[in-house]
Structure 1
Amino acid sequence: MNKHIVLLAALVLLLASAVSVPAAARDDAGYGRLLARHVADGRVDYAGLKKEEAQLDAALDAMARVDPAALSPQAQFAYYINVCNAWTLKLILEHYPGIRSIKEAGSLFRSPWKRSFVRLRDGVVSLDDIEHGILRPRFHDPRVHFAVNCASKSCPPLAGAPYRGDIVNAQLDAATRAFVNNPKNTFFKDGALHVSRIFDWYGEDFGGEPGVWAFIHRFADAPLAREMDAATRHELVYDPYDWSLNGG
């Protein structure tokens, strides 16, 4: 009798682990395969992705079944980044191929980011709800601005793999460093440091202009860091934003 109880308990534990592990990671599988096939160097093959929209829908369904409360803080952070990026792809596909900018996915009365169409386990929310209601206030990490993708050419590129809780810090560092050190995004001209308008829109997340300068210096590679150290003034210029689609 005791032997049967032990075997039954072992079986219950085995089944529980088989259920809980995929629950934390199942948003990665299908979404990750789509990223691998249709994202290269931050450019998205929307034509190819459109042909596999059913697979994206399946990945979104899997994400919606995940209980974020059951995840670690790091896994939650990665999960919500993936949700934001995957549903942005869905938003573009709803209008593709007749779309040149994500702004065209909105209307005269509502921006695309305020539309409630993102399905989560506990309800339907907007992209703004995810980014400004969860990611920014809950995790207080400005690196998120270089992970969340807005399907635009001036936006930090969409990663070619899902974010994962166990490596999310390394992924965020890599995304931030790549964006900051791209000479198209960060460069000196006439003694001023030209930077992305992201640093203007979300200046409070970086601690104002002094914080922006310090943040960029923190992630700058040696050539950019030397230029910053040699600068006689810490003047920032926020460059125009190109909202055209980040299609391949």
Structure 2
Amino acid sequence: MRAMLFILGLVFQMAAAAQSFDQSHAAFSDVLSEHVTVYDDGLKSAVNYRELAKNRQPLDNYLSSLSAVETEQYESWTHEQQLAFLINAYNGFTLQLIIDNIDKFESGDADSIRDLGGLFSSPWEKSFVTLLGEKRTLDWVEHEKIRIDFDEPRIHAALVCAAVSCPKLRAEAFIGENLEAQLENQMVTFLSDRDKNGIDDKGIYLSKIFDWYREDFDGLRDYLTAYSRALSNGSGNGENMNFESLNIRFVDYNWELNNLENR
């Protein structure tokens, strides 16, 4: 009987813990809506890092709430809630990394996130992310957690590494209950951005993201067929194209900071 009561107590504790985390990620949405500017008919966005650095407490508080989540609590959530949590963590801690180094960007000592790495390591290998009970890296969040635990290629249109050529950073957080629609919108938007992806007289041109993570798309040409409208300006002209006959090339990646000045 005592063992049963103990087990029930643990179950109730886990349920209470799961409910205590704000799955709407409203605090992050507040930060994003205030500091992210969406432009080019909704296809791109830029971040006002200068103002975010001056008013960083809301972001720091939100990231602290992510860091407080324990593994058992995380594992009690739905698949969608887990993925939304990890995408927001990646994007949020990337913002923190930039404003932690805002003086380098202001002085001209850094032009992109790549300038924030060490002598023998990249910024994505820095252990500054506290998540699920341990110090982590951004690489761990993306490559060892998200890409391992979730078979979801659209995350490559949702994870934003603070560069001009990245997919746009949404002016709202990802949330579990809307995740399907948000991920689909991100991929359509990314492929509709003619500076990054499209079809021209030479064939299909794509962001280097599709080259770097080609294995995640399980047949890149087949995957792109489902997004032919986005690649062809939404006109529908791409729907009857034979993607097998089109050459694919990958365009150069612009690593400049995705701030207001570079939009």
Alignment-mate amino acid for residue 82 of structure 1:
N
1:208-219 mapped onto 2 (5 Å cutoff): 208-217=219-228
Does the Cα contact within 8 Å between 1:194 and 1:239 map onto a contact in 2?
yes
Tell me whether 46-55 or 198-207 shows the greater mean CA deviation: 46-55
Q: Which residue of 1 aligns with 2:91?
A: 85
> For residues 81-103 of structure 1, what are the alpha-carbon distances to aligned partners after superposition, in whole Å with 9 as ceiling and x for unaligned?
00000000011111114222000
Once residues 77 and 173 of structure 1 are traced to their aligned partners in structure 2, the CA distance between those partners, rounded to angstroms, is 14
Structure 2 equivalent of residue 116 of structure 1 = 127
When normalised by structure 2's length, the TM-score is: 0.81
Post-superposition CA distance 1:203-230 (Å, at most 9, x none): 0001244345335437556746523634
Contact kept, 8 Å, 2:229 with 2:235, in 1: the verdict is no
Alignment correspondent of 1:162: 173
Residue of 22, 25, 37 corresponding to 2:23: 25
Do the aligned partners of 2:229 and 2:238 also contact (CA within 8 Å) in 1?
no
Indicate conservation of the 8 Å contact 1:186/1:194, yes or no.
yes
- Give percent identity, aligned residues only: 30
* TM-superposed deviation, 1:172: 0.3
Separation in structure 2 between the aligned mates of residue 140 and residue 219 of structure 1, nearest angstrom: 22
Q: Distance in 2 between the 1:175 and 1:213 partners? A: 14
Q: 1:16 to 1:103 in 2, by over 3 A?
A: closer
Q: More deviation in 117-126 or 165-174?
A: 117-126
How far does the alpha carbon of each residue in 1:135-162 deviate from its partner, in whole angstroms, 9 at most, with x for none?
A: 1121110000011001000000111111
The residue type paired with residue 70 of structure 1 is S
Q: How many residues align?
A: 234
2:82 matched to 1:76? yes
User: Partner residue of 2:7?
Assistant: none
Counterpart CA distance in 1 for 2:15 and 2:187 is 35
Letter in 2 for 1:147: A
| 1:39 is the counterpart of 2:36 | yes
Output the amino acid matched with 1:111: S
- Checking the alignment, whether the CA contact within 8 Å between 1:145 and 1:198 is kept in structure 2 is yes
Deviation of 1:29 (Å): 2.8
Following TM superposition, the consecutive aligned residue runs of length 4 or more in structure 1 with deviations greater than 4 angstroms are 15-19, 218-222
| Alignment pair present for 1:246 and 2:258 | yes
Deviation track 1:13-52 (CA, whole Å, cap 9, x = no partner) reads 8x997754331527x1322211110011121000110011
Conserved 8 A contact 2:232-2:238: no
| Match of residue 56, structure 2, among 33, 53, 56 | 53
Is the deviation greater in 101-110 or in 188-197? Answer: 188-197
Question: Which among 182, 194, 201 is matched to residue 183 of structure 1?
Answer: 194
Rounded Cα–Cα distance in structure 2 between residues aligned with 1:54 and 1:176: 31
Q: What is the root-mean-square deviation in Å for CA atoms of aligned residues?
A: 2.3
For residues 31 and 179 of structure 2, the distance between their equivalents in structure 1, rounded to whole angstroms, comes to 19
Shift in Å at residue 231 of structure 1? 5.2
Q: Which runs of 5+ in 2 are unaligned?
A: 1-11, 39-44, 106-110
Q: Counterparts in 2 of 1:144-163, with a 5 A limit?
A: 144-163=155-174
Give the residue type in structure 2 aligned to 1:76.
Answer: Q
Structure 2 SS opposite 1:119: strand
In the other structure, the counterpart of 1:201 is 212
For the residues of structure 1 that align with 2:195 and 2:185, how far apart are their CA atoms? Answer: 17
Q: What's the secondary structure of 1:246's corresponding residue? A: coil
Q: 1:219–1:21: structure 2 CA closer, same or farther, 3 Å change rule? A: farther
Three-state SS of the structure 2 residue aligned to 1:81 is helix
The structure-2 alpha-carbon separation of the partners of 1:213 and 1:229, relative to structure 1 and needing over 3 Å to count, comes to same
